[in-house]
Amino acid sequence: MATLLEKDILGDLNASERGLLRGNDLPLPLLKEVAETLLEYRGAAHDHLLVPAVVRVAQEVVSDEFAGEHGEDGVTQLFQSRVHAVAQRIVNAQIEGDVVEEDGAEFDE
């Protein structure tokens, strides 16, 4: 069951985005960053491609020992530095008509 804070953080996301985020055990500050990133790229990339890629980046950052040594700020900064490149790659691939894998990697048809 989602806490009130989680509901507040995810409140602006659509049902599809919230559904794809369920079950991810991300720290609340990082969950907020994920939600803000999804809102920023809403409409530019398909949810079923963007959400898993953004969550994957968040999970990688959480497990990154270097970021963990720098606390929540380190994790948040590392997430921000990585996520926009991944999200932009998905958007660009969609614009160019390339096939995009579920994890955000692109390849030519």
Spans of all domains in the chain:
4-10+27-107
Closest CA to 90 of 77, 101, 79, 78: 101
Say how far apart CA 46 and CA 72 lie, in whole Å. Answer: 29
Would you state the pLDDT for residue 109?
A: 32
Which backbone phi and psi does 99 adopt, to 5 degrees? -80, 135
Q: Tell me how far the alpha carbon of residue 79 is from its chain's centroid.
A: 9
Of the pLDDT bands very low, low, confident and very high (cuts 50, 70, 90), residue 101 is low
Which of the pair, 73 or 68, is modelled with greater confidence? 73
Contact between residue 41 and residue 50 where contact means Cβ atoms under 8 Å apart: yes
Would you state the pLDDT for residue 107?
A: 39
> What would the pLDDT profile of 2-61 be if each residue is shown by its tens digit?
577 777 888 888 888 888 787 788 888 888 899 999 999 988 888 788 888 999 999 888
